[in-house]
Amino acid sequence: MTDFDAYERDLWAGRAGAYERGFARLTARAIGPLLDTAGVTEDSRVLDLGTGPGLVAAEASRRGAKVSAVDADPQMAETAARNAPAAEVRVAVLPDLPYEDETFDAVVGNFVINHVGEPETTLKELRRLLRPGGRLALTCWVMPGSGVLAVVRDAMEEVGVPWPDDVPLSPFMEHGRPDAFAALVGGVFREAAVEHLDWDFAFDPGEWWENVATARVGSNGLVLSQQDPPTVARVKDAYYRRLAPFTGENGEVSFPAHALLARGLR
């Protein structure tokens, strides 16, 4: 386990409920394209990586697939088991997964590859688990973050909040472009390709702020939690100013999200 992996374990420990209420709703839009790309249909043997609250596992089960799911956080795994009762859910930490070689027809990961310390090592482990001809499908955010993913971070930068030296950036930063992501996957898998996923995410701005700032979800939430109340108030004001052009009469925001979807064959 790298230092970044250890940081990630601590960052997400105890955050299952907050993640399910917030970011899981954002990432859910990618579930259909992710499973379609992996060719997940009835009787497919599927592994869902970093399952979080289990929304990918639940949809794959609904399609009739035989689903295994893993997450590094026990609380996340417990939540996934509740939301995807037909799936076999285990606690396991990438890149070491408790399955035999060539177990799965498809391996999918919805915004998890950007949370590992050694992406290439993880990809090699995923290749080991796929049968010959099996399909890999992975989503990640466009890097550096943009759209809704970056709105709180952009507000912090506007106010002048420095990024702490002890809060690491993802090693995946260099891979968050279509060409770089395709090259990474293509170094391990055949016929690697990457496409853009763009959508508008509708949310209540107050709920989103509370999820990040109060529940301390993600690195932005961690950095905000280290600021004094006047600084947090200034960041909150900047956050709402940035959302104003995207806010409807009912107060709900519709803000763009930008991601990438990679595929590869074993």
Tokens of 166: 């002890």
The 10s digit of each residue's pLDDT in 6-31 is 999 999 988 899 999 999 999 999 99
pTM metric for this prediction: 0.93
The 10s digit of each residue's pLDDT in 44-72 is 999 999 999 999 999 999 999 999 999 99
pLDDT of amino acid 213: 82
Q: Do 51 and 76 contact (CB within 8 A), yes or no?
A: yes
pLDDT of amino acid 145: 77
Q: List strand residue ranges (DSSP E) for the chain, in order.
A: 45-49, 66-71, 88-91, 104-110, 130-141, 190-203, 253-265
Q: Taking the CA of residue 96 as centre, how many other CA atoms within 13 Å lie in the half-sphere pointing to its CB? A: 4
How far, in Å, CA of 63 to CA of 56, rounded?
11
Sheet strand arrangement including 88-91:
88-91, 66-71, 45-49, 104-110, 130-141, 253-265, 190-203
User: Per-residue confidence of the chain (266 residues) as pLDDT tens digits?
Assistant: 788 999 999 999 888 999 999 999 999 999 999 999 999 999 999 999 999 999 999 999 999 999 999 999 999 999 999 999 999 999 999 999 999 999 999 999 999 999 999 999 999 999 999 999 999 999 999 988 788 989 999 999 999 999 998 899 888 889 999 999 999 999 999 999 999 999 999 999 999 999 888 888 889 999 999 999 999 999 999 999 999 999 998 999 999 999 999 999 99
pLDDT of amino acid 2: 87
SS3 189: coil
12 contact partners, CB below 8 Å, separation of at least 6: 19, 72, 73, 76
Q: Structurally, what CATH architecture does the domain formed by 3-265 represent?
A: 3-Layer(aba) Sandwich (3.40)
pLDDT of amino acid 144: 81
pLDDT of amino acid 211: 87
Closest CA to 61 of 79, 93, 83: 83
Q: Could you tell me the residue ranges of all domains in the chain?
A: 3-265
Q: Do 68 and 44 contact (CB within 8 A), yes or no?
A: no
How far, in Å, CA of 6 to CA of 31, rounded?
27
